[in-house]
Structure 1
């Protein structure tokens, strides 16, 4: 039986941390589905408009050899996503581990047989750091 994995993110300014998530996730499943967050959801929840438009972020993620399918993430309801995709394992950064939100999700997912696997957060490069660098350069120019 095919093991389906799922992970999500904005994946703005694609970098090696994003690639590492996909690479590691693919080692744990047979079929990897990646949810790319819409611009609207990012603005609404993070108050950040992605620099790279959604259609381009989807194209980039879709081109990665570890990714089997790309879907848009239009809300953060992971159980709703599970009802649609029926994944067996979800991959998320370890910066969420032991938070109330993810403790609750772990409980809900365990009831339907879904495992959550936490990966180490990339510290050297992140979209937040890249955004800060671009902003500082823009302010200087």
Structure 2
């Protein structure tokens, strides 16, 4: 079941240990992923291709609201299930802090990924990952796709 890929911070370490014992490289990214669209799918697929396992940190409803007034459009349970249904996502973990730093500290990813609209030194957790010998990478985003533009078009 896809819901089995939604893990709590307490459940995550066991999955990480299993993957690391198998020699798998763990990729981490995060976001709100409010309305899943082509840009998200392309981004997540590219992130997963950089390693063997993809862990997605997903903002809780409260943290999305703090970042983006009037959002989320879908609740965190819906967003987590949709993320977990993607074949290239191995784990989804909700976080409610203002940034994913605490979750990145827990995951200790081999590769930290964000879209190319970020500079490496602007990515939360980059120092932590680089200091332990990991990589911090950006992947190209598909132009013209964003949740904000979809919402604006729908409100027309």
TM-score under structure 1 length normalisation: 0.85
Q: Of 18, 26, 33, which aligns to 1:4?
A: 26
- Whether 1:122 and 2:122 are equivalent positions in the alignment is no
Question: Which residue number in structure 2 is paired with residue 50 of structure 1?
Answer: 72
| 4+ residue segments displaced more than 6 Å | none
Q: Deviations over 1:9-49 (max 9, x none)?
A: 11111001111112111111111101111111011123241
Q: Deviations over 1:77-105 (max 9, x none)?
A: 3432222112111110111116x633x74
- Whether 1:59 and 2:99 are equivalent positions in the alignment is no
- Whether 1:82 and 2:104 are equivalent positions in the alignment is yes
Aligned residues: 134
| SS of alignment partner, residue 29 of structure 1 | coil
| SS of alignment partner, residue 50 of structure 1 | coil
Is the CA contact (8 Å cut-off) linking 1:42 and 1:48 kept in structure 2? no
Aligned Cα root-mean-square deviation (Å): 1.8
For residues 141 and 70 of structure 2, the distance between their equivalents in structure 1, rounded to whole angstroms, comes to: 20
Structure 1: which 5+ residue stretches go unaligned?
Answer: 137-141
Structure 2: which 5+ residue stretches go unaligned?
Answer: 1-22
Structure having the higher helix fraction is 1
